[in-house]
Structure 1
Amino acid sequence: MKKYLINFSKYLGMCALSMGISSHALAAVIFSNFGPGSTYNVSSGNVVGDGFDGSIYSEGDSFTPITNAVFGSLRIALSEVFPGSQGTSLTINLTADAGNAPGAVLESWSTAPGSLGLLGNNNAPLVLNSSLNLMLLAGTEYWITASLGGMGNAVAWNWNSTGDMNPEAINDGSGWFSPSGLTPGAFEVDSAATVPEPSTLALFGVAFAGMAARARRKSSASGSTLNS
């Protein structure tokens, strides 16, 4: 029985190790223009919302994955221009490309009013997790866009501080203008961490069932020997 328990533990460990190697992977960075420690330009950014010049602006920044990856989350540096200036919901989109400008929306998020820190402070990047986990294709251009409606509502998409100059787009309500020549805002796109595949979980369950059956047979055999 002791030998069996040792073998069972060894087999169980091998199964767990196999599962971990074959079906788990840590999230990886698909794109980032943050500096070390998620740094960015805390004092300047591109206006999202009321530009106080008669127009309401949306901003878009592009990125191109270098490898195929499942989209897991977005981290983005956004700040209120002045206290209370995020007076309505801020909309963030992941979009496809349409002629080097933001195109069809692939996934969208909405943030509550007042959820951002004030411009000039080292605010933690906003983290938006994907619920769709779309596959992003290597070499394909995608866009992250930010928009905020209503006069008097203004948010800044803080500039990156790493020299990134991927195409940036701006929309004043008449359509996207790209490339705008503006400094891109700071953001990071991360892949999703994988989970055990159903086939792997099924195999693990079969292993448990098999070892349990073996235990019962050994127990029955031992009982028969003692009774005789």
Structure 2
Amino acid sequence: MLTFDHVSFQYETDREAMFRDLSFRVEEGEFVSIIGASGSGKTTIFRLINHFLIPDGGRILVRDRDVAEGAVSVGYMPQQDMLFPWRTAARNVMLPMQVHGVPKDRQKKEASALLERVGLGGMDDRKPAELSGGMRQRVAFARTLATGSDLLLLDEPFSALDSITRISMQEWLREQWRTLGKTIVFITHDVEEALFLSGRILVLRGRPATHMDSVTVPAGPDRTREMLLTPEVTDLKNRLIRELREEAGR
């Protein structure tokens, strides 16, 4: 689904490259989390995939199509919900459809179906100010689904939520992934969140980063939060936290 092929990139204002010959793959249907210290380049990876930034070398492929050639569909959900406050939930979800020229009579119907899909049926006409933080994130996720893409990039979408809502949204997102069959790449600073959500974790380290360690989470698809307490997962969590602390201290 996604291939980084020897990608190099450096911001003009930086003294050294962020990535040099960085390569990794994400297979279709995977849920992969990317973790790393602050400033390691996690969000930059998403910006490169979206072609908001242009690599200095290498190729980025989505289903074997180079993103530099355009016409590559990717759903992107940033850290903040970015909902327009003057638009209703349904009209926020319609935005990607409007960009892609979907006929107006289909937009409302499809937006309503997507809101139903994310558990917000009957709330089409609610404004963002009338919704809780978790509900706003669900609207933002529905808007991401409205792109029609099979590859979804989620950039710390739950970081601003309180701990209880965040746990609920994590469980909700795993269920969405299982039923929708999408490929999800998820950025987080929270190791426990990455372990609960993902089948595999990519660890970004070094400057410039030249590779990412790939770690398989020792838990099956029908996992519960109790699996976080198993010795295998606890040991992995402690190791990843230790490595990230060491990286941040360099």
Q: Name the TM-score class by shorter chain.
A: under 0.3
- TM-score for both structures, normalised by structure 1: 0.22
Instruction: Provide TM-score, normalisation by structure 2.
Output: 0.20
Query: Which of these two proteins has the greater Rg computed from alpha carbons?
Result: 1
Between Structure 1 and Structure 2, the one with more helix by share is 2
Higher fraction of strand: 1
Instruction: Tell me: higher relative CO, structure 1 or 2? Use CA pairs within 8 A at least 6 residues apart.
Output: 1
